[in-house]
Structure formats: C-alpha cells, structure tokens
Amino acid sequence: MKKGNLIELEISSYAFEGKGIAKIDKDEKKNFVIFVHHSYPGDKVVAKLTKVKNSYAEAVVDKLLIPSNERTKARCKFFGTCGGCRQQDLDYPAQLRYKHEQVKDIFERLGGFTDFILEDIIPSNNIFHYRNKMEFSFADRRWLTSEDMNKEITDSNFALGFHLPGIFSKVLDIDECFLQSELSNKILNLTRDFFKSRGTNIYSTRTHEGFLRNLVLRQSYSSDDLMVNLVTSNEDDELIKEYSDALIKSVPQITTIVNNINLKKAAIAVGDYEKIYLGSGTIFDTIGKYRFRISANSFFQTNTLQAEKLYETALDFADLNKDEIVYDLYSGAGTISIFISDHCKQVFAFETVESAIKDAGENNLLNNIQNVQYITADLNKSFLEKTLSLPKPDVVILDPPRSGMNPVTVKDVASLSPKKIVYVSCNPTTQVRDIKLFTQEGYSLIKVKPVDMFPHTYHIENVALLTK
C-alpha cells in the first residue's frame, strides 16, 4: 500500500469529522483501518490512498461503486468543493444518528467514561436557511472549479464567497448558499456586481494592499432586522454611500448598514472601528422571552431557534430552584446568564472580551435584569482573584471556545467547589478532555445531551452535567 494507490473498499462505520471507515487485513495486521473522506457506511468505493501510516491510512473516494442507502442528492451546486456542508448528501436522520454515535464514542473511547447517561440528540427544525449570520471573503484570486477549467474565465481576479478548507489565498465564488435566507443571497450577488462594475480592488494577504475584505450579513429570526456589514481596509465615504444607496434601492428590507474598517494585516472580519450608513448599527433578536442587541462584531449563536433548545438543556441540567448563586464562565454577550436569570438568586458572569461585556451590559438593560453582574476576567489565567469578594457558586456554567478550557481554569472552578457544573461545548473532543480533569478534582459525569446546531456539518454542540 502506497500513497496514490487505488483500492476497493466497503465502508463499515463512520468517524468524527465526516470520514467513513473501512477495515482490511494488511501485512499481518487484521482490521487495519482506512479513513475514507466523503464516504458513508454502506458505500462500496474505489478509494485513492492519500496517506499511509503503520497504524492507519487515509483515502478519498475515486469512484462510488455502490452508494449507501443513506445517501441523498445534495441540494447545493457547490457541494463537494465548498467545505461548509460536508454531509449535505447524507440523509438528515442518518446525520443525527452518526453525531449521537460520535459523542458516545468520544466519551467512552477517549474519555473512558461508561457510567453516564447519554440522552437523545435534539434535532434542528430547520435544516436549511438556519443561520442568522454569514461571513463571506473577498479575494483577488478565484478558486476555479473543474467546470470553470473548461470555459474561458475573464474575472479570475475577483471572488466573493468562501475559503476552501486549508486554502487561504483563494476564494470559491458563491452566488447562492442554502444556509442563509434568499434575501441574503440577493445582497451577496448585488455586492459582487456593484464592486466588480466599479473595478474596486480587493485586499491581498500577500501585499497587504487593496480595499475590500469581507461581507458579513446578520438577520434576526424574531423581527425584520437585517444588517449588512462591509469590512474594508480603509475608508472611502463616497463609494460606501453609493453602495448603501444601491442596497437600499434593491433590498429595502435592510435596516442597518455598517462599514467596519480593519487596519490589521490579520484576515479577520472585525474592524478597528466602524462607520454607520443606515440605521443604528445594531439588530435585535430573541432567545426565549429575552431580547438581545447584536452589534456588527457581537458574538451571538448563529442558529437562533436551536440556541433556545441548547439553553433550555443547560437550564434543565442545572435544575435551579431560585436560591442558587451561579457563575457563568465565557459569558459572551450574556445570553446564557440572562436566559437563566429568572431561575436563580444571582449570576456572576465572567468574560475576557471587553466588547462582549459591553454588549452584555446593554442586554441587561434591555431586559431589565437586576441579578446578573458581569466581570472582566482573563480565563486563560487564574480568575480566582476576581471571586474573592463574591459568594461561592452553587452551580457553574461553562461555555468555552472550541479549544476548550485552560487547565488552570479547570482547577480554579473545582477549587470553588460548586455542587454542579454544566459544561456547554461545540467540540466534544476538548470537552471530554476537560471533564477528565474535573473527575481528577472530585467530580462525576452524570449525563450528556447533544444538540444539533449545524445540520449538514459534522459539528455538534453538547451539554454535560457533572456533580461534586
């Protein structure tokens, strides 16, 4: 077996991150594992080997001989090139089942946990048009698909769409995405046409010159609020006013237009400052009975409807009785803190990002919340000093980024000795790593519940309960 070889395989199971698993006898090894990208259990394929190690190999599908009966036709014409919806050709009930099995496998195999309850996964009511935020990139180098190669391309130096996985110098030009609303697609295409017609230059990560950087669209699910946020490398008031006028004329539903100016070399869709050309520069959305103010750079769960189910799960696991003190770590714009505020005595919310604390304070005022206090703390270092004048927590809720928690923070939380810890995570692998550390500090894993926030992707949100 060598890289580049073709081999006929039957896919028997499924691995995390969307890889089918085939097992063969290799040399004297039985059940040698080959991970086959873009394959599903039940597939019979000719696979091309891309990596061969002593303990495993990786491959991609070269030819699909017999498709799994769980396969379905992908809706999007960019499927297979764009890396956003890698499971769009897999039947949704099968997506849910495999995500549930992956959580089980991660907790049992990586975590070594056996004595815990794994509850049923919560499906998403909407499997298309579910995102309230889409972030597109401009690039001066367009990724050419196999279809593009067979025709004359005159605009290969202008693209607005998505970076392909692992490729940051080129962008796949997108004119339609089924994760956002039809209205958002209209804005996307109008933006492309407007700036192409004017020959506007695009910021280059190679030369660090050029104007256009990102287009970020945010849309409320509970109101008609719709934000267009254009991220550029500098100001051009006349051009942005002309762009705003064109947007308003074609899409009068737009309620606010923002220009974020990013002076940094880093390829991020966040500006050093912003200029507002229409409306207030914010939109509002609701989770449960609570209303949230969302600015251009605010963090807000991207699947609004499913976020309510996620927070209800966290609230159910916390099992509050209105007398408890709760610490909410990685509290962001205060969405979880506010959502649980009616059910406890006091919430102390800890967050590293200053702008998120500001948004959280605004959301407190918006909902007339009296029992949530926000505290700036570096959660990559010890935050115990911030707690010295505070009452000890009965419950701690954690919602860290994908990378999980710093071991110092784990020890800090354990030293506060809360009766319950509710851990919300978008990455079960780092979540189980941290939970193993908590078990070394005297905590037991009681139950876990997955929530599907992102249909057609392999990503999965997960809520876990630990008790002292």
Instruction: Kindly state whether residue 91 falls inside one of the protein's structural domains.
Output: no
Residues 140 and 184 both lie in one domain: yes
Residue 443 binned pLDDT confidence (cut-offs 50, 70, 90): very high
pLDDT at 421 over 90: yes
Residues 72/42, Cβ–Cβ less than 8 Å: no
Of 387, 399, 257, 281, the residue nearest 340 (C-alpha): 399
Per-residue pLDDT, averaged over 406-429, amounts to 96
Per-residue pLDDT, averaged over 299-324, amounts to 95
Instruction: Kindly state whether residue 86 falls inside one of the protein's structural domains.
Output: no
pLDDT at 76 over 80: yes
Residues 309 and 440 both lie in one domain: yes
Name the active-site residue from 82, 177, 344, 426. 426
Residue 141 binned pLDDT confidence (cut-offs 50, 70, 90): confident
Cα 22 to chain centroid distance, Å, stands at 29
Angle at which helices 428-440 and 407-415 pack, to 10 degrees? 50
User: Domain range for residue 159?
Assistant: 133-287
Return the structure tokens found at 79. 């499927």
**What is the SS3 assignment for the chain?**
CCCCCEEEEECCEEECCCEEEEEEEECCEEEEEEEEECCCCCCEEEEEEEEECCCEEEEEEEEEEECCCCECCCCCCCECCECCCCCCCECHHHHHHHHHHHHHHHHHHHCCCCCCEECCCECCCCCCCCCCEEEEEEECCECCCHHHHCCCCCCCCCEEEEECCCCCCCEEECCCCCCCCHHHHHHHHHHHHHHHHCCCCECCCCCCCCCEEEEEEEECCCCCCEEEEEEECCCCHHHHHHHHHHHHHHCCCCCEEEEEECCCCCCCCCCCEEEEEECCCEEEEEECCEEEEEECCCCCCCCHHHHHHHHHHHHHHHCCCCCCEEEEECCCCCHHHHHHHHHCCEEEEEECCHHHHHHHHHHHHHHCCCCEEEEECCCCCCCHHHHCCCCCCCEEEECCCCCCCCHHHHHHHHHCCCCEEEEEECCHHHHHHHHHHHHHCCCEEEEEEEECCCCCCCCCEEEEEEEC
Per-residue pLDDT, 154: 67
Residues 251 and 311 both lie in one domain: no
Cα 125 from Cα 452, distance rounded (Å): 10
pLDDT tens-place string over residues 350-392 = 999 888 888 899 999 999 999 999 999 999 989 999 999 999 9
Cα 400 from Cα 467, distance rounded (Å): 19
Residues 457 and 314 both lie in one domain: yes
Return the structure tokens found at 405. 């928690």
pLDDT tens-place string over residues 146-171 = 666 666 666 778 999 998 877 777 89
Per-residue pLDDT, 451: 97
Instruction: Kindly state whether residue 76 falls inside one of the protein's structural domains.
Output: no
Angle at which helices 237-250 and 182-197 pack, to 10 degrees? 140
pLDDT tens-place string over residues 179-203 = 999 999 999 999 999 999 999 999 9
Tally of domains within the chain: 3
Instruction: Kindly state whether residue 83 falls inside one of the protein's structural domains.
Output: no
Per-residue pLDDT, 28: 67
pLDDT tens-place string over residues 203-252 = 988 888 999 999 999 999 999 999 999 999 999 999 999 999 999 999 99
Per-residue pLDDT, 82: 85
Residue 122 binned pLDDT confidence (cut-offs 50, 70, 90): very high
Residues 147 and 278 both lie in one domain: yes
Cα 202 from Cα 208, distance rounded (Å): 10
Residue whose structure tokens are 């909902």: 367
Residues 353 and 406 both lie in one domain: yes
Residues 341 and 449 both lie in one domain: yes
Of 380, 373, 359, the residue nearest 327 (C-alpha): 373
Residues 204 and 108 both lie in one domain: no
pLDDT at 70 over 70: yes
Instruction: Kindly state whether residue 79 falls inside one of the protein's structural domains.
Output: no
Instruction: Kindly state whether residue 164 falls inside one of the protein's structural domains.
Output: yes
Per-residue pLDDT, 302: 92
Count of other CB atoms within 10 angstroms of residue 211: 17
Per-residue pLDDT, 186: 96
Per-residue pLDDT, 149: 61
Residues 184 and 224 both lie in one domain: yes
Per-residue pLDDT, averaged over 92-107, amounts to 95
CATH number of domain containing 59? 2.40.50.140
Pairing between β-strand 117-118 and β-strand 133-139 as defined by DSSP bridges: unpaired
Residue 142 binned pLDDT confidence (cut-offs 50, 70, 90): confident
pLDDT at 118 over 90: yes
pLDDT over 70, % of the chain? 97
Per-residue pLDDT, averaged over 105-122, amounts to 95
Per-residue pLDDT, 146: 65
Residues 120 and 147 both lie in one domain: no
Sign, CA dihedral 102-108-113-116, equals positive
Residues 445 and 328 both lie in one domain: yes
pLDDT tens-place string over residues 392-402 = 999 999 999 99
What length is written for the chain? 468
Mean of the per-residue pLDDT values of the chain:
93
CATH number of domain containing 387? 3.40.50.150
Of 205, 227, 207, 225, the residue nearest 216 (C-alpha): 227
Residue 15 binned pLDDT confidence (cut-offs 50, 70, 90): confident
Residues 118 and 229 both lie in one domain: no
Annotated active-site residue 177? The verdict is no
Residues 362/337, Cβ–Cβ less than 8 Å: no
pLDDT at 438 over 90: yes
